[in-house]
Structures are given as structure tokens and as C-alpha cells.
A and B are shown apart, each in its own frame.
Chain A
Amino acid sequence: MAGDMKRIPELEQEKYDSDEQVKIICLGDSAVGKSKLMERFLMDGYRPQQLSTYALTLYKYSTTINGKSVLVDFWDTAGQERFQSMHPSYYHKAHACIMVFDVQRKVTYKNLSNWYKELREYRPEIPCLVVANKIDADMRVTQKSFNFAKKQGLPFYFVSAADGTNVVKVFKDAINMALSYKKNSSDFMDVVMRELENFDLEGKEESADEDEEEGRAD
């Protein structure tokens, strides 16, 4: 599986192994408001790093948790189907996932199961938060229950990027969950993946990065 991993040359992902760095991915259909949520959390004036070739926007955030400084990379991903091939690099080494749908569009809710299934293929145990965005459009939705999260045993949040309801809470919770996952991860896959990455002899790509890795594995 590691051999299929798409590499993003501009982004060194090894850093996510260090204690003080976490990676949180934002998933969901196009136009559910992922970027708007990021912007609301970080407030305006923030300039993210755009990697348009990879349909990815990177938001860096630093904070202090229990007296320790923590660097968080938020990976804001594109929902469009033509970027499907990029998905493995999104999931790679992620410590938590914020999965968003639009309460105004049923299809985005129905698609959660596809996003979730794919997420679990790559990251079977990372914390995943389900976010129902755009509640400002029709507050009545908050009277209803959405069973997807309950069924999968995932935390669920009603939020609005426009008026700010619960946005900061989601991100704070996600950071805390990512950190505790990282600290306590007994995820067998994490260990296996680490081993596989050091043993990446059959990497299909021929980039310089890959050559270096092969040399090391020898």
C-alpha cells in the first residue's frame, strides 16, 4: 500500500512523526464549506498555502496545550472527483479527520458514507468528527437527528461557518483528539505503515525522493 502512496514533493510528511506536530484533514463534498470553516476558525487575514496541483490548501496553526506548544497542519481538501487520485496523500499520516456535510444538500450527507469508507481504508482508527454545516440557513435542522454519526459512533456537531456557531469548538476538539490519538495510538497499522515506509522498494514513482528512500532501505 505504501508503494501506491502519492508523494507531494513540496510537502515533507515525515515531520508528522514528531511529537509536537499533528495533521488534521478536512473531508467532504465540494461546496459544503470546508474552507469557510477553516477561515472562520483562523479568522481573516490568514494566508494559507495553496497547492492547486494537488487540490489542497494547507493551513498552519500553532497553539499551546497543557503548556506544550503544538503545531497543527490542517489539510483542506477538494471534493471534486477528478482529484480522487490525490486522496491517499491526504490520509497519509493524518491524526484526525473533520468530515463535513451541508445541511441544505442531502447528497452531501449521503456521500459521507463514501468518504468515511475511504478514510477507514487508510486510517482505520483515527478520530473522526462529523460536522453538519450551514445550520444558519435553516435552524430547524437542529431539531432533527442525523443517524450517520450515531451509527458509526462518531461525535457530531451542528455548526455554521457564517455565524460562527460551534466552529471553534469543533477545531479545538479535533486538535485534542488528534493529540491524544497520537499519544496513545496502539494502532497496529501505524506501526506497520512505518515499517513499510522504510521498506519501500517497489515504489512506482521515479522521483528523486523515491530514489533516496530506496537507497536507505537497502
Chain B
Amino acid sequence: MPIIAKRCGIKFDPPSVILIYEDEHTNKLRKRVIPVRSFSQFSDCSRAAERLKHHSRHGHYLDSVSLEQLVRLHTVLRDHLRGLSVEESLREQRHSHTHDDDLNKLSDEELNRRKAEMDVLFELNRRHKDDPDFVYDLEVEFPENSVRETCSWDHSDEEF
């Protein structure tokens, strides 16, 4: 059965990977809940992700989900078991690789991988139009005042 993965996320209780996918035959959107078993705060996230990707029953549903994304999701789960919030986990993951890569130089594949990483936070902070407090034209003023501190990015070497 051809599967087009749409979104992939994680649930803490019970620990499971949630996949929203489209069944190409029926064009229907479906949700699959894949339990994450024998996983603890001491587990190796890369191995657990690989195990899931090659799982006899669930594996082929995850064909179009990158291993990197599964590793990240497992890391969020592991950090949760260690008592970290999702935000803290993502912050740590973000800091784990250098922030100053010039993404303009990457291949499509590599760039898409980095975009997928950024999408985790995007989805987390996203306001959907079905949310009760959704405002389409949300305007927020950030008043400029004298106490505003100059961003350190402006201090360094080269001038504009």
C-alpha cells in the first residue's frame, strides 16, 4: 500500500510515534499510532529510531519519514523522560549543531533536512486557523525605546 506521510509527531503517554499519512489508493488521510516500546531515558535515540524504521509491521509506513526526524522525535521523548520540556529539548537539539552554517550552499536534500528540523518548532508554536483564539491579521507593536539594547550581531567585525 503506497503511503504518503503528511506529518509525523510524538506522543508522551503512552509513548508513541503518530503518523498522519495519505493512502494513495483511497486518497484518504489516516492516522497511525506506533507504540515506542522498551524505551527509557537512557536509551540510544538513533538506535531506537532505526529499529522503528525497520520494524516489520510499522516500518514501511515510515518510508518517507527521514531517519533524522525520527531521531529528533525520540530525543524529545527521551528528554521528556528526563524531565525536560519540549521547548528545552528542542533548544538543546538546536544548539547541538552549529547555528552559523550558510544554508544557501547546501544541496536540496540537505536543505530539506534542515528545514524539517526547523519545522518541529514551527509546528509547536503554530496557531492554526481553527484555533479558538486565532486572529488572521494579528498586529503586535514592539515599541522602540531608548533602553533597547543593540543586538550583538551588530557589534561584530564587518559593517553594513
Q: Which residues of A contact B (CB under 8 A)?
A: 29-31, 33, 36, 43-44, 79-81, 104-107, 109-113, 136-137, 141-148, 151-152, 158, 160-169, 172
Contact = CB atoms under 8 A, between A and B. Distances in A.
A112 B160 CA distance: 9
The prevalent SS among residues of B at the interface is loop
Contact of B148 (A110, A111, A145, A165): A145
A169 B105 contact: no
Given A106-B99, A137-B125, A144-B148, A163 B106 contact: no
A106 B100 contact: yes
Given A162-B127, A164-B127, A168-B136, A107 B102 contact: yes
Given A31-B111, A145-B151, A43 B136 contact: yes
A64 B149 CA distance: 40
B126 to A, nearest CB: 5
Contacts of A143: 148-149
B101 interface: yes
4 smallest beta-carbon distances between A and B, as pairs? A168-B137, A162-B125, A136-B125, A30-B103
Nearest to A101: B153
Interface string B135-157: 11111101010001111011000
B103 A29 contact: yes
B145 to A, nearest CB: 10
Contacts of B105: 80-81
A164 B135 CA distance: 8
Contacts of A158: 140, 142
Contacts of A107: 100-102
Contact of A79 (B104, B142, B160): B104
Contacts of B127: 162-164
Nearest to B112: A31
A169 B139 contact: yes
Contacts of B129: 43-44
A105 B149 CA distance: 18
B122 A161 contact: yes
A151 B106 contact: no
Contact of B111 (A33, A80, A144): A80
Interface in B95-118: 99-106, 108, 111, 114-115, 118
Interface string B120-138: 0111011101000011111
Given A29-B102, A162-B126, 17 more contacts: A31-B114, A43-B129, A79-B103, A79-B104, A80-B104, A107-B100, A144-B150, A146-B154, A158-B140, A162-B125, A163-B125, A164-B135, A165-B140, A168-B137, A169-B137, A169-B139, A172-B137
B104 A81 contact: yes
